[in-house]
Structure formats: C-alpha cells, structure tokens
Amino acid sequence: MNFSWTDEQHAFRREVIKFAQGELNDDLIERDRNEQFFCEGWKKCAKFGIQGLPIPEEYGGGGADILTTVCALEALGYGCRDNGLIFSINAHMWSAEIPLLSFGTEEQKKQYLPRLVSGEWVGIHAMTEPGSGSDAYSLKTRAERKGDRYILNGSKTFITNAQLADMVIVFANLDPAKGPAGISAFIVEKGTPGFSISKKLHKMGLRTSPMAELAFTDCEVPAQNLLGKEGSGTAIFTASMEWERICILASHLGAMQRMLETSTSYATDRKQFGQPIGKFPAVAGKIAEMDIRLEASRLLLYKAAWLKSQGKHPLREAAIAKVFVSEACIKTAQDAIQIHGGYGYMTEFQIERELRDAISGTIYSGTTEVQKMIIAGLHGL
Ligand SMILES: Cc1cc2nc3c(=O)[nH]c(=O)nc-3n(C[C@H](O)[C@H](O)[C@H](O)COP(=O)(O)OP(=O)(O)OC[C@H]3O[C@@H](n4cnc5c(N)ncnc54)[C@H](O)[C@@H]3O)c2cc1C
C-alpha cells in the first residue's frame, strides 16, 4: 500500500489551493445571502482546468486519473469557501460530462464535451421528480418515439444548475410496461420548444448553487439526441452515480481540514477563565475528533477512488465513503461552531454557512438511508 501523493500531485495541490484562495472567495457572505451564483468563479475554474480534470485531452480536458482529480477537488474544497460553486462544478462534471464521455457517440462527445470542459456551457442531469426521489426508477416522465424524434412529457425537481443549463440529460421512460428497463436518457438543449424552467427553488445551504424545477411539455428531441441505447437509462445513471459518490465529497475533505485549522487557531487564541479554551479537555477533545473524522474520511474516499482507478466498480466502498464523509462533515461543522461559541453562530465568521452547506451531503447522490440499503443488500439483506 502506498498512502502518499506523488511530487507532481503535491505540486498540483498547492497550485489549486493558491488559485482557490486567491480567486474564489470574494463577497461570499453577500453571494450566499442573495443566492447568487459566482459566474466569474465558474469561468476562472474552467480556465484553470477544474471542470475538465478527468476528461481526455482530445475533448479539451486535463486527462487526469481519478486519484489526481480527487486530490485537486480536495484542494479546491480547502482553498475555496464557496461550497455552492464547488457543488455546481461537481454536478456539471459527474452528471453531464461523465455520462457523455462514457455513453455518448463520438459525434455527441465532440459536440458537447469541449464546450462543457471550457465552462462555456453548463450541463445538468434531471432524474428526480416530485413523486420519485430515492425510488428514482419509478419516474413518470414519458418519452415516445415519433419518426425521427422523441417526444418528452413530464416534470423534474431539485435540479442543480437548472437556471444556468445549456444542455440537460433527462431521464424518461419509453416503455413503462418494462419498468426500469424502459428508462432512457436524452440530451435536450436550452431553447428546445416544450422545455422550460417551471420554478426556482430556494435552499437552506449551497445557496450559491442555483436549483429549479423543469417542465417538459410535448418537447421534441431529435432521435440522434438519445444518449446510449433505448433502455440504457439505468446503466447511465448508475455509472454517473459511481463517479459522483466517490468524487463529489472530495471537496468536503478540504472543507474539514479548513474547519479543523480554523478551530485549532481559535481555540489557541480565545481565552476564558485565564487560559486558551483549547486547554480545556472538552474543547481539545473536539479538535481531536475533527482530526479523527478527517483522517478516516480521507482513507475511505481515497480507497474508493483507488479501486475505481484499478478498473473495479467499488459499489460498497463508494456507499461507505458517501455515508461516512457526508456525516463527518456535518459533525465537524457543528463542532467548529461550538468551539467558536456565539461567534460561530454569526454569519460574519463564515462557519454557520459550512453547516448549512454540509447538511445536503446526506441527501443528494442517494441519501444515507439508501447507501445503507445498498451496503446491507451486499450482505444479502
Ligand atoms: C442539494 C441537492 C441537489 C440535488 N441535485 C439534483 C440534480 O441535479 N438532479 C436530480 O435529478 N436530483 C437532484 N437532487 C435530488 C436528490 O437526488 C433527491 O433529493 C434524493 O435522491 C432523495 O429523494 P427525495 O428528496 O425525493 O426523498 P425521498 O426519496 O422521498 O426520501 C425521504 C426520506 O425517506 C428515506 N427513504 C426513502 N426510501 C427509503 C428506503 N427504502 N429505506 C429507508 N429510507 C428511505 C430517505 O432516505 C429520506 O430520509 C438534489 C438534491 C439536493 C438536496
């Protein structure tokens, strides 16, 4: 076993941190308050190469392996406090770029990937519906083949980046009698008649990442916009979820490191009863627990990424990492607030936002309960 990053990965990590700290944190309190997406930050990240990290160079990407990608996203999460921006970038990478790369025709890849990688276009995926979340494959959106077109009808909810999207990968059932085997994925471009944003949604956290509901009303899509084959929707969704569950929480590792350092520094400087609060075992214990959670989270996430780099499908390891890292980040944010006392609860200190942002980690990409169902299922339950 080799637990160390290479010299190149270390150097890249430092570069990402410097870029993120220098370019991505301006006016964040205001942007969070106003639910404002950081458009400039998105473009800067794209220019730096973040959106294209794991995409092959022939489509404009960086051609990084998954471990290097995780290393860079962890560094981004450490340097950039705008968890909403990072979430939007992750959604774009794992739910639009990766399915296109893995299932797109050469023509589709050439048409969309360079624009997504360069940040010129924003890609999203739309699976969740008002009546189907965890039970995603019971979706009601219908697709019907008519000559050289598909006609889509239905609605989608909780769609990240919806208002920014230039293209959406939408999941719909072509043959409900076949159940999940009837689900297919279609590429729908912005401006296609019958495709609209029906309602903007407001969130507790990740407020700088836009979200909305989508409506498809007799939306006509050219037959060549089918992604993969008819009926391959579940395979496409599973493949993108595997990447997403491993990589989307890499930035949480960086955020946990940042909260650990901020809290340690505060516990050293803040004095009560004539001594630094960090000298009280109850406070020092929280710092130790933050470190324990960070170390365990790193090991779980790196292992899942390493298994994928070996060509395996780490269903169990990705589910374990997803549950553990998302819950660890929430607990660490709570501890950070507690260590900062009343100041931690104030917006100005930028710690309460970390908790609001972290809470969604146990919901998106499959809830904690669903991950546990997957793990228990592998034990025959
Ligand atoms: C920040 C954020 C971003 C998102 N972005 C997108 C996106 O871009 N595209 C998209 O398609 N979707 C997106 N989603 C939707 C997300 O995938 C769903 O919210 C999630 O799958 C859960 O579905 P639900 O909200 O309908 O909850 P439900 O499925 O209704 O679950 C409600 C509760 O019941 C529990 N539960 C459900 N079934 C079981 C079971 N069998 N056993 C035990 N407990 C169970 C759940 O764990 C949960 O606690 C996003 C969600 C969030 C919060």
pLDDT, position 1: 84
Is residue 348 located within the same domain as residue 303?
yes
Shortest-distance Cα residue to atom 52 of ligand 1: 364
Tell me whether residue 259 is in a domain. Answer: yes
Is residue 152 located within the same domain as residue 254?
no
Convert the pLDDT of each residue in 61-104 to its tens digit.
Answer: 999 999 999 999 999 999 999 999 999 999 999 999 999 999 99
- In this structure, the chain runs to a length of 381
Please determine, for residue 29, whether its predicted confidence score (pLDDT) is greater than 90.
Answer: yes
Is residue 96 located within the same domain as residue 34?
yes
CATH number for the domain that contains residue 356: 1.20.140.10
Separation of CA 155 from chain center: 22
Convert the pLDDT of each residue in 252-264 to its tens digit.
Answer: 999 999 999 999 9
Within 8 A by CB and 6+ apart from 364, the residues are 160, 248
11 exposure class (CB count in 10 Å sphere: 0-12, 13-18, 19+)? exposed
Q: Which of 128, 240, 323 to mutate to test the pocket of ligand 1 (most atoms within 8 A of CB)?
A: 128
Is residue 136 located within the same domain as residue 214?
yes
Please determine, for residue 183, whether its predicted confidence score (pLDDT) is greater than 90.
Answer: yes
> Across residues 363-374, what is the average pLDDT?
98
Phi/psi of residue 106, each to 5°? Answer: -60, -40
Tell me whether residue 43 is in a domain. Answer: yes
Tell me whether residue 2 is in a domain. Answer: no
Is residue 84 located within the same domain as residue 160?
no
> Quick one: which atom of ligand 1 is closest to the CA of 136?
21
Is residue 13 located within the same domain as residue 109?
yes
Is residue 371 located within the same domain as residue 357?
yes
Question: Domain containing 215: what range?
Answer: 123-231
348 carries an active-site annotation: no
> What is the DSSP annotation of 321-344?
HHHHHHHHHHHHHHHHHHHTHHHH
Is residue 373 located within the same domain as residue 253?
yes
Number of domains forming the structure of the chain? 3
Please determine, for residue 9, whether its predicted confidence score (pLDDT) is greater than 90.
Answer: yes
Tell me whether residue 301 is in a domain. Answer: yes
Shortest-distance Cα residue to atom 7 of ligand 1: 159
Out of 74, 213, 244, 352, pick the active-site residue: 244
> Across residues 17-35, what is the average pLDDT?
98
> Across residues 176-203, what is the average pLDDT?
98
Is residue 110 located within the same domain as residue 27?
yes
Please determine, for residue 309, whether its predicted confidence score (pLDDT) is greater than 90.
Answer: yes
CATH number for the domain that contains residue 70: 1.10.540.10
Question: Can you give the pTM of this predicted structure?
Answer: 0.98
Confidence of residue 40 (pLDDT cuts 50, 70, 90): very high
> Quick one: which atom of ligand 1 is closest to the CA of 135?
29
Eight-class DSSP state of 352: H
CA dihedral 126, 111, 55, 188 (to 10 degrees): 0
Confidence of residue 219 (pLDDT cuts 50, 70, 90): very high
Tell me whether residue 236 is in a domain. Answer: no
> Quick one: which atom of ligand 1 is closest to the CA of 171?
11
Pocket lining for ligand 1, CB < 6 angstroms: 91, 124-128, 133-134, 158-160, 206, 360, 363-364, 366-367, 369-370, 373
Is residue 158 located within the same domain as residue 39?
no
Is residue 159 located within the same domain as residue 88?
no
Tell me whether residue 240 is in a domain. Answer: no
Rounded to the nearest angstrom, the distance between the alpha carbon of 130 and the centre of ligand 1 is 10
What mean pLDDT is reported for the chain? 98
Tell me whether residue 370 is in a domain. Answer: yes
Shortest-distance Cα residue to atom 30 of ligand 1: 133
pLDDT, position 44: 98
Rounded to the nearest angstrom, the distance between the alpha carbon of 134 and the centre of ligand 1 is 5
The last residue of a domain, from among 231, 258, 280:
231
Convert the pLDDT of each residue in 263-296 to its tens digit.
Answer: 999 999 999 999 999 999 999 999 999 999 999 9
Shortest-distance Cα residue to atom 14 of ligand 1: 158
pLDDT, position 288: 98
Tell me whether residue 238 is in a domain. Answer: no
Is residue 219 located within the same domain as residue 260?
no
